[in-house]
Amino acid sequence: MSNEVSKKFSDKDLFKLSFRWTLFRSLVWNYEKMQAAGYLVVVAPTLDKLYKDDENARLHAYEVESQFFNCETNLANIIFGMDVAVQEELGEAGLDMVQAVKTSLMGPFSGIGDTLFSSVIAVIFGSIAVTTGLEGNYVGTIIWFAWLVFMPFVLRPWLCKLGYQQGLKLTTTLSDQLSKLTKAGSILGITVIGSMIATMVKVNFGTINLMGIEFNLQTQLLDAIMPKIGSALAGVICYWFLGKFGMKSGRLIFAVMVVSILLSYFGILVV
């Protein structure tokens, strides 16, 4: 798509479009069409502007934009921008292309976005907030809050503008960069989770009696093999149990509490 086409939408218009998504993305959410109603509400003012002189085209656009949609909150803004760019250039004739863009991108963008924003960045900011909070310092919490404000007011509008300016070229020019960024982010996220387990999960084994000799299992054996090995084993076991035997995160937390109390009662674990 050419970037020389006269643009009808200003940065302010795109900001409003993006912010409406922040407010209404889960409007009338359901299992049949998921975010479709929210998507339609978000783009409705745009459609009214594009097809103000053609009622039939506007109704057709409303019908197309109300189809199934489900995408990660941040990267969905790129799709909005591309949607507007396509319809601005091609009009009603571009609606089939718009639907194809939404269908083809919402899956990959969700995979990338969920990994990057939910599994990596959220873990990083959350771990900083928790770690500093335990030390009586709330700077980490303030930083996390600043990130939560940054997303709807800066990041999402910028992504929407990017999609609008670049149009369909993003499907090729951005794919490699996003793939590399996601891979790097995944590695960073795993590293952060590993460090959180080592520093915040406390598993200390107690003293056992072997043939009348007191033997500290933690300091005299396990620490010699690998410091924090108990924390690592706890993390591995919990991860393995998730999704098995009907185990959900809430049930797992309760199970860990029960097991910890029992092992502490029998002296196997100590504080």
- Please check the confidence at residue 176 and state whether its pLDDT lies above 50: yes
Task: Indicate the pTM of the whole model.
Answer: 0.67
pLDDT of residue 4: 43
- Please check the confidence at residue 189 and state whether its pLDDT lies above 80: no
pLDDT of residue 171: 58
pLDDT of residue 69: 93
Mean pLDDT score, 233-237: 87
What is the DSSP code string of 6-63? PP---HHHHHHHHHHHHHHTTTT-BTTTBTHHHHHHHHHHHHHHHTTT-HHHHHHHHH
DSSP-derived 3-state class of residue 248:
coil
* 236-267 pLDDT, tens digit each: 888 888 878 888 888 888 998 998 899 888 87
- Please check the confidence at residue 271 and state whether its pLDDT lies above 70: no
DSSP β-bridge partners for residue 266: none
Which has the higher per-residue pLDDT, 4 or 92? 92
* 121-141 pLDDT, tens digit each: 888 888 888 888 888 888 888
pLDDT of residue 243: 75
Domain locations in the chain as residue ranges: 11-193, 201-270
